[in-house]
């Protein structure tokens, strides 16, 4: 696997550390449980870290020297991808992998550059598409120039593209990908960690709790939840994510959210927790009446799965992966993105009906168990690998990438 900016060893909650890190780690470990030997190549960000670090049985994280050995935003990494690809090619020449699975577009570029001369097939998962980001962020999009064109080339050159939701399939076909070489496999959830049964965090008596588990970036829509709070005087919003609590005062999005809460006179209803350790998340989720996931756009979104697996209803934007994962009226409620009034109305109706909350929560737990366990996701992914390896012809698509 190649995951240039999203190390499976990284602490979650930062601007560039989130669902992709979890996805790569969980998928690698689940594949290893099925007898696959997995190496995850990621960019070195710390000179003191060894070149190879075990992640778990059968999985090694390989830290590739490409650019300065310090944390860089992913938008700064493109100039270092040639060095990343050169290192991969050298490693793979010494020990040729059966198949490469690239995660994110820059990983796809490096993987194809390194694998193409060796005849190694490449599977691509984008996790996010530049064309969608540009549509929603416009001039505020900080992606490197040429991202969309490069994604188009990668989608055509890869032996197979794995989309994480049906909405992404549509976007990929519009981008020029061959629909016959797209497989749809969702993200997964750890069904042993995230369960309906178990302890729940304490909360003030007589108060309802809404929970947002997010990276602190504006597009995640936390501001829309804050804007809905004046209509929900009995509800508190807990926001978990971002830097550690001691560093929140330096975070621009945390500052923006605090200012907005003060302007709306709901500051006493908003609790910015900062980064919460992953092992503490299930108890925090179980303490909530609802988990609110209202991004402006979302390639997939793993938090809804974690909430569903814990038996908590999800109020989610009808965008991207949430269209597939959250079933309106069965596991949660869909709302339009960037519409605080509509969100407030949906939350009022849900919080006023505890029986409905319980019913939706139970439905979410069933759906998570039936569809989203990582072992199931790994089986589907390995089926794709087997099919790609059997076909093995990469020459035509390699020429297209060139």
Here the tokens at position 233 are 């005087």
Whose CA is closest to 275, among 340, 214, 346, 344?
A: 214
300, 132 in Cβ contact below 8 A? no
pLDDT value of position 13:
42
pLDDT value of position 393:
53
Q: Report angle CA 357, 363, 366 to the nearest 5 degrees.
A: 145
Here the tokens at position 44 are 């070195």
pLDDT, one tens digit per residue, over 41-97 is 999 999 999 999 999 999 999 999 999 999 999 999 999 999 999 999 999 999 999
More confident residue, 382 or 297: 382
Domains with residue ranges and CATH for the chain? 19-188+375-401 (3.40.50.2000), 208-372 (3.40.50.2000)
pTM: 0.90
> 345: which DSSP letter?
H
Please give the Cα distance from 159 to 13 (Å, whole number).
32
Please give the Cα distance from 190 to 60 (Å, whole number).
20
Please give the Cα distance from 312 to 305 (Å, whole number).
10
pLDDT, one tens digit per residue, over 104-154 is 999 999 999 999 999 999 999 999 999 998 888 888 888 898 999 999 999
At residue 221, the 3 state secondary structure works out as: coil
371, 379 in Cβ contact below 8 A? no
pLDDT level of residue 10 (50, 70, 90 thresholds): confident
Please give the Cα distance from 13 to 275 (Å, whole number).
6
Which residues on neighbouring strands pair with residue 42, listed in sequence order? 63
Q: What percent of the chain has pLDDT over 90?
A: 88
């Amino acid at each position: 696997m190649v995951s240039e900016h999203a190390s499976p060893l990284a602490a979650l909650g930062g601007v560039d550390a989130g669902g992709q890190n979890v996805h790569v780690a969980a998928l690698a470990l689940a594949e290893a449980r099925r007898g696959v030997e997995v190496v995850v190549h990621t960019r070195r960000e710390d000179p003191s870290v060894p070149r190879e670090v075990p992640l778990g049985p059968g999985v090694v994280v390989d830290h590739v020297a490409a650019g300065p050995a310090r944390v860089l935003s992913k938008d700064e990494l493109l100039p270092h991808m040639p060095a990343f690809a050169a290192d991969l090619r050298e490693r793979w020449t010494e020990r040729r992998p059966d198949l490469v699975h690239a995660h994110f577009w820059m990983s796809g570029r490096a993987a194809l550059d390194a694998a193409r001369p060796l005849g190694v097939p490449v599977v691509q998962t984008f996790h996010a598409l530049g064309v969608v980001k540009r549509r929603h962020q416009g001039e505020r999009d900080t992606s490197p120039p040429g991202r969309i064109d490069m994604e188009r080339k990668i989608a055509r050159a890869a032996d197979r593209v794995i989309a994480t939701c049906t909405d992404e399939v549509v976007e990929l076909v519009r981008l020029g990908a061959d629909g016959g070489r797209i497989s749809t496999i969702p993200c997964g959830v750890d069904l042993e960690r995230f369960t309906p049964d178990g302890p729940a965090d304490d909360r003030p008596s007589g108060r309802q709790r809404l929970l947002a588990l997010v990276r602190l970036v504006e597009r995640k829509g936390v501001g829309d939840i804050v804007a809905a709070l004046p209509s929900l005087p009995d509800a508190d919003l807990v926001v978990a994510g971002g830097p550690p609590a001691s560093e929140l005062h330096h975070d621009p999005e945390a500052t923006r959210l605090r200012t907005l809460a003060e302007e709306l006179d709901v500051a006493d209803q908003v609790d910015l927790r900062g980064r919460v350790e992953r092992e503490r998340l299930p108890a925090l989720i179980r303490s909530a009446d609802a988990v609110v996931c209202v991004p402006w756009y979302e390639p997939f979104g793993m938090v809804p799965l974690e909430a569903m697996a814990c038996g908590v209803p999800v109020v989610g934007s009808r965008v991207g992966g949430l269209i597939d994962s959250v079933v309106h009226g069965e596991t949660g409620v869909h709302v339009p993105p960037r519409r605080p009034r509509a969100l407030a109305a949906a939350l009022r109706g849900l919080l006023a009906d505890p029986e409905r909350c319980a019913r939706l929560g139970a439905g979410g737990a069933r759906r998570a168990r039936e569809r989203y366990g990582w072992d199931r996701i790994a089986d589907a992914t390995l089926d794709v690998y087997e099919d790609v390896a059997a076909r093995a012809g990469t020459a035509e698509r390699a020429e297209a990438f060139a």
